[in-house]
Amino acid sequence: MKGLAQQIQALGLQQMRFVWCDPHGQTRAKALTVDAALAALGQGLSMVGTAALKDTSDRTAFKVFEPEFAAGHPGFAGARNVWLKPVESTFKVLPWAHRTGWIQCEAHFSDGSPVALDTRSQLRRALDHLAARGLGLACGLEVEFHIYRLAQAHGQDALDPAQAGWPGPAPAVQMLHPGYHLLSEASLDQSDEALRVVQSTAQALGLPLSSLEIELGPSQFEAVFDVSDALTAADHMVLFRSAVRQALRRAGYHATFMCRPPFPHIMSSGWHLHQSVVHRESGCNAFMRETAQPEGAPDQARALLSDLGAHYLAGLLSHGSGMTALCTTTVNGFGRFSAHAMAPQSIVWGQDNRGAMLRVVGGPGDPATRIENRLGEPAANPYLYMAAQIYAGLDGIDRACDPPPATLTPYAESQAQGSSPRIASDLKAALQALRDDCVLSAAFGPDFVHSYALIKNLEQERFDAASDKLEFARREYFGRI
């Protein structure tokens, strides 16, 4: 990291944020002076291990001081530290913070072994499995989210101590546009000031933002990013969410990546993950079918995808239930799966069909052929979301699975008896499906699955026990995600 240290000094930075992405996809950070930061680049820095064990309210899900916990989790016993190792390729200079650098880290125990709940390491390991076969994963991001104007009485300096809680109160906000006018130019102009902040922030950070669009719901937007390799795309997603929220906050706005903001008449937000497997040597799309099948039925996967692509698609379908808790990761997100809302209800695929969980786009001779997974919510941890695709797809390839015919009526099919399996109705059921999925459980590791399920189940239990579920959503998600 000698070159990076020299760059930090040459830029005249005064502070460095060392950031870690937790299992929920949220960033935690330490701000170091430059002298301390230069030392940390070489030797790493410590972080309290309980940061990896918290639910979305910041409650520690484990009794870290009990002997039973220590026996099963020796690296975390007694709330001891873990070590953060900076990732040089993620270094950025924050455009909204004075002379401040930013770098993401991976978490290790003191003996150098990776922390199972370090999700960036999880994706790297999944990509290693692809690389061993001469393959890689390319991803494009379509992310829906909401931006509101902060009400003046509840601006940045107006946090009332009397309203403190665990979690704290959500901000009071106003809409930027009234919604229900998809791709409206008038709404785009009405939201221009906030969107300029989003665009300038993303571009200053080098993120491959290609468009900002008006979505259907009130104060709802969509950001679309160009294709990049999976690890880079995941890093971009982590940085984009964190950067947009911070830059907009300073400009008098509140951005949220929760699926369903706690207001009437909203529209749910999704995160549509476009993916294609590529040959590492040539960079060519391994999903692309070179020529059409002469006798291929149009509803068969091989009419659109290569044999490898069809097997990968079958793997995604086979593990759709198991991957749900890694793609839709909050209690709030499961309210999105309703009929005729351009969100899936069943584990099916379709040709360019936005009602299906998996939308196949492209066809013979099209180098942009890809599978779009519409299962995710914008709050999901991107490393887990993408790793789940790899492990599921590889299982389909290894077993040479063939997918069923494409659906033409995904919502009608979801109501039919004995048809394709439904997407889980809540987080608890999705977590049980992850535990029951032997392939995904083995791939992510039993330590990860056990800890992740316990942490997320605590979130579900607190929601179930909440007397005011709307206030739970305000404090737990709207003010924090």
According to the model, what pLDDT value does residue 295 have?
Answer: 66
Q: Does position 410 have pLDDT exceeding 60, yes or no?
A: yes
According to the model, what pLDDT value does residue 207 have?
Answer: 98
293-339 pLDDT per residue, tens? 766 677 899 999 999 999 999 999 999 999 999 999 999 999 999 88
Q: Which residues pair with 92 in a beta bridge?
A: 102
pTM (two decimals): 0.96
| Domain spans in the chain, listed from the N-terminal domain onward | 2-115, 126-478
Distance CA 89, CA 87 (A): 6
Identify the CATH assignment for 2-115 out of 3.20.20.370, 3.40.50.300, 3.40.50.2300, 3.10.20.70: 3.10.20.70
Q: What is the mean pLDDT of the chain?
A: 94
User: 154 pLDDT band (50/70/90 cuts)?
Assistant: very low
Cα 411 to its chain centre, rounded Å, is 25
Q: Which CATH superfamily is domain 126-478 in?
A: Glutamine synthetase/guanido kinase, catalytic domain (3.30.590.10)
357-407 pLDDT per residue, tens? 999 999 999 999 999 999 999 999 999 999 999 999 999 999 999 999 999
According to the model, what pLDDT value does residue 416 have?
Answer: 52
Mean pLDDT throughout 204-229? 98
According to the model, what pLDDT value does residue 298 have?
Answer: 74
Q: Does position 441 have pLDDT exceeding 80, yes or no?
A: yes
Mean pLDDT throughout 29-45? 97
40-89 pLDDT per residue, tens? 999 999 999 999 999 999 999 999 898 888 777 878 888 999 999 999 99
Portion of the chain with pLDDT greater than 70, in percent:
97
According to the model, what pLDDT value does residue 162 have?
Answer: 82
According to the model, what pLDDT value does residue 155 have?
Answer: 46
According to the model, what pLDDT value does residue 158 have?
Answer: 64
